[in-house]
Amino acid sequence: MTSALKPPPLRNDCFALPAGVHWTPVEDALAMLRDRLTPITAVETIKIAHAMGRVLAASVFASRANPPLPNTAVDGYGFAGGRPDGAHVLFLLEERAAAGPMLDLDVPEGHAVRILTGAALPVGVDTVVLQEDVTTQAGQVAFNGPIKVGANTRRAGEDVQADEIILKVGRRVTVADMAIMAATGVREVSVRKPLRVAVISTGDELVEAGQSAKQDQIYDANRPMLLAMITSMGHESVDMGRCADDRAALGEVLDNAAAQADVILTSGGASSGDEDHVSALLTEAGAMQLWRIAIKPGRPLALGMWNNTPVFGLPGNPVAAMVCTLIFARPAMAQLAGAGWSDPVGFDVPAGFSKSKKAGRREYLRARMRDGRVEAFGSEGSGRISGLSWADGLVELSEGAQQINDGDLVRYIPFGSLDL
């Protein structure tokens, strides 16, 4: 393992908004995050066996071709192709070519050799006839033409050539990538250290899940959700627990979080009320921006820096917390993790609902596909956690949309496209 190299920290003003803007469109907010956030995770070299889910810090090149030698794709009989139409009778050699060490044999004209899937083609063989298509008897093999030269074989490098780029910098290594790296002889890859994301819940009303709660208390639902989202997005979560609505106490938790993590997500206390201590503290630290984004669901986002660590102050309502994390924190964290910016993949599908909407803001509905149409959850209340479980994705309604009728095309983004 080489020593880890860490990029410089972000600028303190990386979340600054242009002056005079009242409600920032989602697109502008995303463009600001895309342009100002840079990778902040260190780079290390690891063996490919450990690369699953890691973000590549450099493109990966094939060390050798796949396949390295021409070989047979089927069990059958190999010979020199280019034979005309009609019946063929070839002399069958006694040797057999199987996967493993290459058969050291020159197959003469007019002869064929028994060959099994994966075996490298011996000299003199460029074509294979399927075993099901032949008859053999008394040292001879017979079949009907025509058979194309090269039939049932794989060319050397037909999949990947040596020194070709197989995986690009910024890619998060997938299960399939594990196979292509192995197949092309790659041994080590340069990757980013996982992004460590701290999660803090704020609010005097909160109780830890699973413990007993008084009637006037509510369970902390955001923290388990956010911790799970971070893991699902390929980052490392750091659980900082709950914090009361107390400025000094929250300041300490933020100090601890900044010492351990690359990014901090808080939920609750992010608006500009008396008990909104996240925004108050960030403001005191002199690196706070209240992002009023034209989005529903979503209250203001408090974005700031705490001891050089970016903080995403999410709304307290679980639905808004989840949507804001998916729409803003997800791509921002990917950028910070070195994975680059990626817009979620969505599909235009017929609406299985109708609704009217205020123009000028973007809306996200809890949604799911049934029978080729997308359904929207019955209630848009931001505290309705059940709708998040009901849904398999989000419908994104553009700023301009005002009336959506049954059957109109709307954009559906499955949770899978949002790394969940």
Question: Taking contact as CB under 5 A, which single stretch among the options 155-163, 191-199, 219-227, 316-324 is the one that binds Mg ion?
Answer: 316-324
Interface residue with Mg ion among 76, 203, 300, 352 (CB under 5 A) is 203
Please state at what angle helix 247-260 crosses helix 277-284, rounded to 10 degrees. 70
The C-alpha R_g of the chain, in whole angstroms, comes to: 30
Establish if 218 lies at the interface with ligand AMP (CB under 6 A): yes
Tell the smallest beta-carbon distance from residue 382 to ligand AMP (Å).
8
Q: Give me the least distance between CB of 322 and ligand AMP, in Å please.
A: 11
170 binds, options ligand AMP, Mg ion, none, Cβ within 5 to 8 A by partner type: none
Binding status of residue 300 toward ligand AMP by CB under 6 A: no
Which of residues 81, 122, 234, 268 is near Mg ion by CB under 5 A? 268
* Contact between 221 and ligand AMP per CB under 6 A: yes
The dihedral over CA atoms of 273, 278, 282, 284, expressed in degrees to the nearest 10, equals 60
Candidates 326, 274, 259; CA nearest to 295 is 326
Which of Mg ion, ligand AMP, none does 309 bind, CB closer than 5 to 8 A by kind?
Answer: none
Q: Which stretch binds Mg ion (CB under 5 A): 152-160, 198-206, 387-395, 397-405?
A: 198-206
Asked if residues 89 and 77 have their Cβ atoms less than 8 Å apart, the reply is no
User: Is omega for the bond preceding 224 within 30 degrees of 0, making it cis?
Assistant: no
Give CA–CA dist 207/320, Å, rounded.
Answer: 20
Cα distance between residue 237 and residue 329, in whole Å = 14
H or E element in which residue 318 lies: helix 318-324
CB distance 265 to 330 below 8 Å: no
Smaller CB separation from Mg ion, 39 or 203 = 203
From ligand AMP, Mg ion, none, interface partner of 181 (C-beta below 5 to 8 A by class) = none
**Which of 41, 317 has the CB closer to ligand AMP?**
317
Phi–psi pair at 226, nearest 5 degrees: -65, -40
Binding site for ligand AMP (CB under 6 A): 201, 203, 205-206, 218, 220-223, 267-270, 315-318
Binding site for Mg ion (CB under 5 A): 203, 268-269, 316
